[in-house]
């Protein structure tokens, strides 16, 4: 996987948000949300949420119970 450069956008109140830029075929540059990019590549729980901790479930009680029942 190709690494993306670290880029930030300054928001109101002095908050910095990490973004990435993509050059489009027409030559324009579009900014994307870095957190959303990371989550799109993360492992998913059976409910569809991003897995946490062990990487097997999202952490919700129902998902943990379902994982235990499947074993």
Residue 3 confidence class, pLDDT cut points 50, 70, 90 = low
Taking residues 24-28, report their average pLDDT: 89
Provide the residue ranges of all domains of the chain, joining segments of one domain with +. 1-40, 44-71
H helices present in the chain, as ranges: 34-40, 61-70
Q: Is the pLDDT of residue 1 over 80?
A: no
Contact 43, 55 (CB under 8 A): yes
Element housing 22 (H / E)? strand 16-23
pLDDT, tens digit, 9 for 90 and up, residues 31-43: 888 888 877 888 8
Does the pTM surpass 0.85? The reply is: no
Burial of residue 34 (number of CB atoms within 10 Å: 0-12, 13-18, 19+): middle
pLDDT at 32: 87
Residue 24 has pLDDT above 70, yes or no: yes
């Amino acid at each position: 996987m190709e690494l993306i450069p670290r880029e930030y956008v300054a928001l109101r109140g002095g908050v910095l948000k990490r973004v990435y830029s993509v050059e489009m075929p027409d030559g324009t540059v579009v900014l994307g949300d870095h957190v959303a990019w990371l989550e799109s590549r993360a492992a998913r729980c059976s409910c569809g949420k991003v897995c946490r901790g062990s990487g097997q479930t999202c952490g919700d009680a129902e998902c943990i119970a379902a994982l235990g029942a499947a074993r």
